[in-house]
Amino acid sequence: MSGDTAIATVCLSGTLEDKLGAAAAAGFGGVEIFENDLIASRRSPSEIRRLCADLGLTIDLYQPFRDFEAVPPDVLRANLRRARRKFDLMAELGADTVLVCSSVSPDAVDDDDDLAAEQLRELAELAGERGIRVAYEALAWGRFVNTYEHAWRIVRRADHPALGVCLDSFHILSRRSDPRAIRTIPGEKIFFLQLADAPLLDMDVLHWSRHHRLFPGQGAFDLAAFTGHVLAAGYQGPLSLEVFNDVFRQADPGPAAVDAMRSLLALRESVGTLDVPAAPRLDGHAFAELGVSGAVLADLGFTHIGTHRSKPVQLWQQGAARLLVNSAAEEGSISALGLVSADPRGSARRAEALLAPVLPREHCPGEADLAAVAAPDGTEIFFCGNDEWLRDFVPSGASSAGSGITGIDHVALTQPFDHFDEATLFYRSVLGLSPEAVAEFAAPFGLVRSRAVGDQDVRLTLDSALVRRGEWAPGVPSPQHVAFACEDALAVARTLRENGAPLLEIPGNYYDDLDARFDLPFAAELRENSVLYDRDPSGEFLHFFTELVGSRVFFEVVQRIGGYRGCGVVNTPVYMTAHRERRLSLA
Ligand SMILES: O=C(O)c1ccc(O)c(O)c1
Ligand SMILES: [Mg+2]
């Protein structure tokens, strides 16, 4: 049934028991047992079979069986002997489908479809006698067979009821094969479907496959269209994840399996085989909650307009930008985000359906009952309707002119490097935000990967070191920031400097380079005010930064001109270096 879900044990970290336990706990119905996981296990195949049954898991596939077809007679004999042994094992395991991947062996004699078909037919005959099905998969780097069309031609030529194809989205989409022709394969000849996403990388396909696969929705492939073709062909088997990924291989298998399941739920929603409450429209940032001193916010032109009735929380506001200062929160960090939802309950229902942890409600009688969920890095996401939550704050009566900040433009949430892809999928699927392309750049303390998710009303940037940061680097964990919107960055920068706000100074070399690249009429003012600049076909961008105002947090002020869509990522190494130098000068 296409409602069934499965996951290959290779996706997860740990022993076979760890993997199976995590898959079952996340709600998977079946598994693909990877041979290496079985070989290394102390449990016999029949014990593994019992364990799976106890966990409510079916064993949907045993794999891989390599380098079988198109070989000389003596090699064929050895291969058939090897197959018999594995079929015995499968009988003990209770697995009825084996994956045979196309040969990469020098033993394969030549590109001879007739020979490959004849030998696979012999294998299928042996398998069929034991009630086993052979699913033939074209590896993208297979010696002679490396496209699904070719694998299907051979399977059709072999014409045996126990022989079909295994379609693996990675092998098909990495080679840019046209997946539409999948619709011409009879559904009952598609014996198995493996799903993996991936970032678009220009690299050797084997290395790409073995290290960089992702769960659907985390990469750049159109898995919804792909899966749609397979279902349209009449495929009846499970949707099974097969993701080789260096990070997932060492992640805690519990959360990794939940992340995997979330990817499948979102995929099933997008192909119309699962109903999930739709993502209500998000209309903007209601607030960001963080631990900073009120004095810094006053310097930035914010006013302390209210104090929470029952919690140690102050509300500071300027324009539509609202910050909650929580004296109980960890100093410096951004602990929560409030997003304006057209239907907060609906947002929460969707989040729950997509396995986001719902946070316990903590509110006193008469206070707003905001639904909230936890993002993968622990940031609390609150869904706010209208401004009813503001009534929980006793007004201070204070007001001030402000400095020209008009709202929150985006929030930059630094991710632990092993949560980056999970975070992308979370914000994409749970909140319905659109991910932009991944940018990577060399920052002073190592490579940084950055990805914006959102639209013009709600924008987040996810930044992450590519590998674990050394302890010597400042800001471990890396600082996060809130970026405010304004209409005239130069004017706001001038006002803030006059207020004595701790603005970050940008070195002259940056402006010399800017002068070389662009001939800007306001170049001198940028330099004078330490305002950075970017331009691309979507528009222009002016932005400046404060120094670190807590151990983990700083602010940015941005001005977008003409629909600029990005977040000035090109300038990130410059301000990161400036933050580093400022810290050294203070140390
Ligand atoms: O990388 C591999 O060898 C390999 C093995 C089995 C698969 O199903 C696959 O997609 C890749
Ligand atoms: Mg595969």
Kindly report, residue by residue over 453-472, the tens digit of the pLDDT. Answer: 998 899 999 988 877 766 66
Q: Is the predicted pLDDT of residue 552 greater than 90, yes or no?
A: no
Q: Give 272 Cα–ligand 2 centroid separation in angstroms.
A: 24
Q: Map residue 4 onto helix, strand or coil.
A: coil
ipTM: 0.99
SS3 content of the chain, % helix, strand, coil (to 5): 35, 25, 35
Q: Are 485 and 353 within one domain?
A: no
**Residues in the ligand 1 pocket, defined by CB under 6 Å:** 63-64, 99, 101, 137, 139, 168, 194, 209-210, 242
- Does any domain span residue 525? yes
Let me know whether 286 and 322 are in one domain.
Answer: yes
Cα angle, residue 259 at apex, residues 204 and 188 outer, rounded to 5°: 70
| 277 falls within a domain | no
Q: How does DSSP assign 216-238, residue by residue? A: TTSSSS-HHHHHHHHHHTT--S-
Residue 297 amino acid letter: L
Binding residue positions for a divalent metal cation: 137, 168, 194, 242
Identify the residue whose tokens are 């092998």.
171
Q: What is the pLDDT of residues 158-204, one digit of tens each?
A: 999 999 999 999 999 999 999 999 999 999 999 999 999 999 999 99
Span from the CA of 343 to the centroid of ligand 1 (angstroms): 43
Rounded Cα distance between 408 and 334, Å, is 14
Ligand index nearest the alpha carbon of residue 103:
1
Which residue type, as a one-letter code, is found at position 340? Answer: V
Contacts of 178 (CB under 8 A, 6+ apart): none
Specify the DSSP element, H or E, that contains 195.
Answer: strand 190-195
**Number of domain units in the chain:** 3
Would you state the structure tokens that stand for residue 496, as one six-digit string? 């803030």
CB 575, CB 546: distance < 8 Å: no
How much distance in Å is there from the Cα of 194 to the middle of ligand 2? 6
Residues with CB under 5 A from ligand 2 (ion): 168, 194, 242
Considering the domain boundaries, does residue 251 fall inside one? yes
pTM for this predicted structure: 0.94
Identify any residues that bridge with 323 across adjacent strands, giving them in sequence order: 288, 316
Token pair of 311, please?
């919690």
Last residue of a domain, one of 371, 395, 419: 395
| Cα 139 to ligand 1 centroid, rounded to whole Å | 7
Question: Could you report the per-residue pLDDT of 216-226, keeping only the tens digit for each?
Answer: 999 999 999 99
Q: Ligand 1, closest atom to CA 171?
A: 10
Whether residues 437 and 557 share a domain: the answer is: yes
Q: Give yes or no: residues 491 and 523 share one domain.
A: yes
Amino acid at site 105 = S
The reply to whether 303 and 228 lie within a common domain is: no
Query: Using one digit for the tens of pLDDT, what is the confidence trace for 483-537?
Result: 999 999 999 999 999 999 999 999 999 999 999 999 999 999 999 999 999 999 9
Residues 302 and 360 in one domain: yes
**Rounded to whole angstroms, how far apart are CA atoms 436 and 450?**
10
For atom 2 of ligand 1, which residue has the closest CA? 210
Centre a 10 Å sphere on the Cβ of residue 30 and count the other Cβ atoms it contains. 20
Distance 193 CA to ligand 2 centre (A): 8
Residue 52 and residue 101: Cα distance in Å, rounded? 25
CATH number of the domain to which 332 belongs: 3.10.180.10
- Please work out, in degrees rounded to the nearest 5, the angle formed at the alpha carbon of residue 485 by the alpha carbons of 480 and 489: 105
Residue list for the binding site for Mg(2+)? 410, 481, 556
Q: Which of 32, 60, 197, 209 to mutate to test the pocket of ligand 1 (most atoms within 8 A of CB)?
A: 209
Mutate to test the pocket of ligand 1, among 173, 211, 242, 246 (most ligand atoms within 8 A of CB): 242
Strand-pairing partners, residue 407, are 485
Task: Please tell me the number of the ligand nearest to residue 194's CA.
Answer: 2
**Cα Rg of the chain (Å, integer):** 28
